[in-house]
Structure 1
Amino acid sequence: MGYCPCFGFRKGKKLKGDTDEEKDVGKTTIRKPEENVAQLSSEDGTNAENKAQTFTFRELATATKNFRTDSCIGEGGFGAVYKGKLGSGQQVVAVKKLDQTGLQGEKEFLVEVLMLSLLRHPNLVSLSGYCAEGEQRLLVYEFMPLGCLADHLHYPPPGKEPLDWNTRMMIAAGAARGLEYLHHEADPPVIYRDVKSANILLGEGFFPKLSDFGLAKFGPTGDRSHVSTRVMGTHGYCAPEYAKSGKLTAKSDIYSFGVVLLELITGHKAIDSNLGREKHLVEWARPFMKDHKNVAQLADPQLKGRFSVSVLKKAFEVASMCLREDAGARPSMRDIALAMDYLASRPYNEPNETNKVEVKGSGDNSPDETTMLNKELERERAVAEAKVWGETWRDKRRQGTP
């Protein structure tokens, strides 16, 4: 069982070969990373205003107790991640030590330094700095104490309570806001390309942040509709049109977000042997996308029914739209973030004894009947929610079925 408190089980799993149009950043010679970041920034029409701090290898070796095994908190596709303490020990960080076995690790180093120097948002993990001393390539990030979403969903420690419904919706809303920033506010826009539960890190209060930007690409600009690139990502999350053609758009991220939302709803992994013959979560859930009547059956059993059925149905509706096979019919990340904020603002409150009113049957042979006042209130809330939801999503649903 992998542990991914910082960067997931595996990153950037290659699905297909290169295309002729791939810009091979990995072939750039590294002398000083800041020089290459400036070079890449100018090529992409950007300016890295927020320069990351440079560290010496000795500083990071000291911070991680010389990269001792007991400091290792995770393994990524291109290196191990260590917990460290800088300076006087007041600043706790995560240090990723890249495995220099090929150009891909070098490329990811450059891309992460570039992207996280350019991008700033509460729902993106912060890059504290880097080291490029000799052959060493290390990245220093803020430490996220609660690990990654994948561990909480799929590999919870014995005796630990599963994530409740409200926390799941809060995490989904935060991840959506991070992606909204990348797609609509970053200039130029950024396609994340590796949306998955292992790359959503959790801070205090389960505050979510997107991590691991080694596969990120600047989105198309001008008249271009897509970016042609080799297909990278993780099986189970990759959008079908991208996997087939190598044509990358923001809609590829939206498909992957839909998979993560399905994980949050069902508790299943993107590829899960427990799903029987299908194994792929999306294909397993596809029949429910055509008929939403029995959607509540999809809910993670670990929730034990502690969720609002109406909100679950709406969350599944959002996931279904994200997973449409026609990429053009998927909603924008801005619309998705709006929807997820709405759902996160409708928390589930468990019924309690003060909400219950007991009503006795009038006839001798009538059984005692117990009704709960909160059920009536729930119906009223559901009607109000349906009106707001309908106004927001009516046009989206007319675009077609998933």
Structure 2
Amino acid sequence: MSSKMIMFYAFLMLASLHLFVTSNQQGDALIALKNSLNATPSQLSDWNQNHVNPCTWANVYCDPNYNVISVTLSSMGFSGTLSSKIGDIKTLSTLYVQKDGSSHKARIGIIGGVIGITVLLLSGGVMFLVWKRRSKANRQDKFVDVPGEDDRRIAFGQLKRFAWRELQLATDAFSEKNVLGQGGFGKVYKGVLVDGTKIAVKRLTDYESPGGEQAFLREVEMISVAVHRNLLRLIGFCTTPSERLLVYPFMQNLSVAYRLREIKPGEPVLDWPTRKRVALGTARGLEYLHEHCNPKIIHRDVKAANVLLDEDYEAVVGDFGLAKLVDVRRTNVTTQVRGTMGHIAPEYLSTGKSSERTDIFGYGIMLLELVTGQRAIDFSRLEDEDDVLLLDHVKKLEREKKLDAIVDRNLNGKYDDKELEIMIQVALLCTGASPEDRPSMSEVVRMLDGEGLTERWEEWQQIEVNRRQDYERVQRRFNYGEDSLYNQVAIELSDRMSHTTHEGKAYNHASKKRKDGGVRSPHGTDCHKAVQYGPGTPGPCDYIATVGPLAQPHGLPCGSP
């Protein structure tokens, strides 16, 4: 045989060994041995395949690395032959079996097992190479059963380290029928441990990327130190050379978002007392993260989908995958905005600066979800109005004193008017445009109980009145009547158009008045937004007035090239 062929077979052997050396192989081999010896139910009764670690079994001895090195089965009256699978245990140095054949037969069984496993390894190596070549193109979309049970370089506090095989059994090999949901870094599976405990397993799919591994380490660190009745408790974790998994208790009633918008026929609707309790529980959980953790913890993705409900419908804030651990001595500026549109505070979206106030904004939107049962962004509202954002929709109805039109119809009118008013007011305070005007979470907890809300609400109303007056005062300067004095003044539409009174009136007639007082340019672009930035300052559509007191020498209408 040529040296190249020898090297090829050696490579196959190494690849196969790397693939098949798994923690559960030792247990499988010993179970096969037990069966081949025709053991009675009373013999080796604690050799249970569901108990992943065979080092805890009777008559099995392991080294400090949990490798089986010796099996002693003396005076037990076995019959039958040795299973060839015993050769799978490569660290096994002693196998003592008495009264079921001579030691010569035992040696023959072991030799036969080694020969059998060698053939199996060679076949497995070929299959491995074929599979590797076929799956290389789409390896990111597939999971790999990893060779190691855990990566012992990572250990956190008193959290339980689960074996890979244990979670694999609990989730029925991570079956799709057990998928509870999917987040930014992986799927969440429902599982049941051997003792009957229900769990949720978060399997990170892209931990090899910097974001994925950092997400794992960040989540484990934060959840392990943040312990509160309204925060999702981490049971444990599992690490292997190529996978990271987090284990949580299973939340019987799923999420608030599910209970508001995705319930199946016959399932109960969240009643008003439960919604109020969820609002208060979520506030207390966030208060703990912001004010009782050092360093403080910023969640950064507070929404109804991330508030879970236990068996008693108590709120549990979960999914810290987007959370940020903020040292109080460091800046809060981050290089990447993370969160869900409609829940992101405006200052965070525009500057990338996050703080506990960005969480408070998200909490305010979640309160509106609780009250209305609607999503933070709903484009279907464009059919009847201009407000796509739930926040703008609620503000409009609140100004019109139509609180009854705000409430979720699934409640069938069964709510307390005073408590509804409190919830709406707290939500609007939390979603103030300026982060400095938003209350802290400890203030929110007190206001939900009615303490200090009246004063803060009066201040907010005055701020809103002043803001709207300033907005309307500037906007009126753009509402030109056809008999206005300024219609006689020449306006400049672009450098390609002449400065004539006739063209000025033509532009005025071409402009379409909006129902909210703004002006729509002949190009169809809304120009009223420019006034938000103050007199003489270009707005988002770079429109500068060329007529009247805000006239500029070289203004261009919206939509100009």
| TM-score under structure 1 length normalisation | 0.73
In the alignment, is residue 339 of structure 1 matched against residue 459 of structure 2? no
Task: Report what 1:94 is aligned to.
Answer: 200
Q: CA deviation at 1:395?
A: 4.4
Q: CA deviation at 1:155?
A: 1.1
Residue 73 of structure 1: which of 180, 197, 202 is its match?
Answer: 180
Residue 52 of structure 1: which of 153, 159, 175 is its match?
Answer: 159
Q: CA deviation at 1:186?
A: 1.1
Q: CA deviation at 1:396?
A: 5.9
Residue 234 of structure 1: which of 305, 329, 340 is its match?
Answer: 340
User: Per-residue CA shift, 1:11-61, capped at 9, x if unaligned?
Assistant: xxxxxxxxxxxxxxxxxxx965636x6xxxxxxxxxxxx432111211110
In the alignment, is residue 314 of structure 1 matched against residue 422 of structure 2? yes
Structure 1, 158-167 or 206-215: larger mean CA deviation: 158-167
Q: CA deviation at 1:124?
A: 0.5
In the alignment, is residue 282 of structure 1 matched against residue 411 of structure 2? no
Q: CA deviation at 1:151?
A: 0.8
Aligned pairs for 1:2-401 within 5 A:
32=152, 34=154, 50-89=157-196, 91-100=197-206, 102-222=209-329, 226-276=332-382, 277-289=386-398, 291=399, 293-340=401-448, 342=449, 389=451, 391-395=452-456, 397-398=458-459, 401=463
Tell me, yes or no, if the aligned pair for 1:242 and 1:252 is still in contact at 8 Å.
yes
User: Per-residue CA shift, 1:336-395, capped at 9, x if unaligned?
Assistant: 12223x2xxxxxxxxxxxxxxxxxxxxxxxxxxxxxxxxxxxxxxxxxxxxx65x55414
Aligned AA (2:455): R
Q: CA deviation at 1:102?
A: 3.0
| Whole-angstrom CA distance in 2 between matches of 1:163 and 1:34 | 41
Tell me, yes or no, if the aligned pair for 1:324 and 1:401 is still in contact at 8 Å.
no
| Whole-angstrom CA distance in 1 between matches of 2:453 and 2:174 | 51
Tell me, yes or no, if the aligned pair for 1:57 and 1:136 is still in contact at 8 Å.
no
Secondary structure at 1:111 match in 2: helix
Pick 1 or 2: higher relative contact order, CA cutoff 8 A, min separation 6.
Answer: 1
Number of equivalent positions: 310
Tell me, yes or no, if the aligned pair for 1:81 and 1:94 is still in contact at 8 Å.
yes
Matched residues, percent identical?
A: 38
Runs of 5+ unmatched residues, structure 2: 1-149, 465-561
User: Per-residue CA shift, 1:68-105, capped at 9, x if unaligned?
Assistant: 2222222222211111122332x211111111263322
| Whole-angstrom CA distance in 1 between matches of 2:453 and 2:176 | 51
Aligned AA (1:240): P
Q: CA deviation at 1:107?
A: 1.8
Tell me, yes or no, if the aligned pair for 2:294 and 2:328 is still in contact at 8 Å.
no
User: Per-residue CA shift, 1:177-234, capped at 9, x if unaligned?
Assistant: 1001001111121111110111111001211101111221123514x56343410001
Tell me, yes or no, if the aligned pair for 2:222 and 2:325 is still in contact at 8 Å.
no
Aligned AA (2:459): R
Q: CA deviation at 1:397?
A: 3.8
For the pair shown, the structure with the greater C-alpha radius of gyration is 2
| Whole-angstrom CA distance in 2 between matches of 1:241 and 1:201 | 27
Q: CA deviation at 1:134?
A: 1.4
| Whole-angstrom CA distance in 2 between matches of 1:106 and 1:397 | 47
The verdict on how the C-alpha distance between 1:32 and 1:282 changes in structure 2, with shifts beyond 3 A counting, is: farther
